[in-house]
Amino acid sequence: MIRIFSTKGHKPEFGLKDLFRYIGPGLLVTVGFIDPGNWASNIAAGSGYGYTLLWMVTLSTIMLILLQHNVAHLGIATGDCLAEAATKHLKPWLSKTILSTGIIATISTALAEILGGAIALKLLFRVPVKLGAIMIFLLILILLFTNSYKKLEKWIIGFVSIIGLSFLYELSVVDVSWGEAARGWVTIQFPDGAMPIIMSVLGAVVMPHNLFLHSEIIQSRQWNLEDDKIIKKQLKYEFTDTLLSMVIGWAINSSMIILAATTFYKNFIAVDELEQAQQMLVPLVGNIAALVFGVALLLAGISSSVTAGMSGGTIFAGMFGESYDIKDRHTKMGVAFILFLAVVVIFCIKDPFSGLVYSQMLLSIQLPITVFLQIYLTSSEKVMGKYKNSKFDNIALWLIGITLTVLNVMLFLSFL
pLDDT, residue 159, reads 82
Q: Give the lowest-confidence range in 47-51, 123-127, 266-270, 395-399.
A: 266-270
pLDDT, residue 12, reads 46
pLDDT, residue 255, reads 92
Query: Are the C-beta atoms of 346 and 130 separated by less than 8 Å?
Result: yes
CA 205 – CA 61 distance, rounded (Å): 7
Q: What is the pLDDT of residues 276-317, one digit of tens each?
A: 666 656 666 667 877 888 888 898 899 989 999 999 999 999
Query: Are the C-beta atoms of 304 and 31 separated by less than 8 Å?
Result: yes
Q: Count CB neighbours of 81 within 10 A.
A: 30
Does residue 341 register a pLDDT over 50? yes
pLDDT band of 86, cuts 50, 70, 90 = very high
Domain parsing of the chain, residue ranges: 16-380
Q: What is the pLDDT of residues 162-186, one digit of tens each?
A: 888 888 888 888 899 999 999 999 9
Q: Count CB neighbours of 191 within 10 A.
A: 13
Buried b (16+ CB within 10 A) or exposed e, 47-80: bbbbbbbbbbbbbbbebbbbbbbbbbbbbbbbeb
CA 203 – CA 117 distance, rounded (Å): 19
For 199, phi then psi, to 5°, come to -70, -30
Nearest Cα residue to 210 out of 75, 28, 23: 28
CA 77 – CA 385 distance, rounded (Å): 8
pLDDT, residue 9, reads 44
Mean pLDDT for the chain overall: 86
CATH classification for the domain delimited by 16-380, as one of 3.40.30.10, 1.20.1740.10, 1.20.120.610, 2.30.30.240: 1.20.1740.10
pTM for this model (two decimals)? 0.86
pLDDT, residue 3, reads 42
Query: Are the C-beta atoms of 205 and 64 separated by less than 8 Å?
Result: yes
Residue 305: CA count within 13 A, CB half-sphere: 32
pLDDT, residue 225, reads 59
Q: What is the pLDDT of residues 63-76, one digit of tens each?
A: 999 999 999 999 98
CA 409 – CA 221 distance, rounded (Å): 39
